[in-house]
Amino acid sequence: MRLLIIEDNPDIAANLADYLKARDHVVDLAGDGLWGLHFALNNEYDAIVLDLMLPGMDGLALCRKLRGEGRETPVLMLTARDSLDDKILGLEAGADDYVLKPFALREVEARLRTIARRALSHGHTQKLGVGDLSYDLATYQVSRGGRQITLPPIPLRLLEQLMRASPRVVSRAELEAAVWGDTPPDSDALKAHLHVLRGAIDKPFETPLLHTIRGIGYQLMAPHA
């Protein structure tokens, strides 16, 4: 893979770059947000490693700018902030996934491979529907009540699993396996991505579709289904 690391800590950046290069990846480095954005907008990458706290432009602003320019390069955010609110902010800014500092280099590579592979995968010519919510798997277009909805890749994957299963309740373990496979995330990751999903498909609308079934899992169900 061709990767961009945007990290202002030289030791962390060097460790990441050395490890990834040893695994046969091509790596570019940027030490601040402005240079990182320049690299990201002017080159093609399979994935970007993005630190949250950066000089010049922080990771959240950079990610929003990148998505605002129409660039869909997968972004793995690095953060030392482990609160659920901070994780949600990153995902809502357009990050595809995140890892907490300190992290294992092996985990970073595994997550980069996962988000890059997901971005390259082709959807089937199939549409899913639950109530007035629809998802075109070929174009990745989601809409509810005729209103277009934009979602990052992981909430999209969760939405697909929940729509395929609807109205069955899907367990937490099943959702985590569908998205992360053999590299399960920290305990807040699924909750954070589901928060983003719920905010997009339910919050602007009168009737909620996504339900938490305590102690069991999650259910996407239309009223009177």
Q: Among 10, 178, 190, 12, which Cα is nearest to 104's?
A: 12
Phi-psi region of 36 (alpha: psi -120 to 50; beta: other; left: phi over 0): alpha
Interval 9-35: pLDDT, tens: 999 999 999 999 999 888 999 999 999
Q: Among 109, 116, 26, which Cα is nearest to 72's?
A: 116
Q: What is the pTM of this model?
A: 0.60
Interval 75-111: pLDDT, tens: 999 988 777 887 888 888 889 888 888 889 999 999 9
Whether 202 shows a pLDDT value over 60: the answer reads: yes
Alpha helices per DSSP H over the chain: 10-22, 33-42, 59-68, 84-92, 105-120, 153-165, 172-180, 189-201
Whether 125 shows a pLDDT value over 70: the answer reads: no
| β-pair partners for 218 | 170, 212
User: Between 16 and 131, where is the model more confident?
Assistant: 16
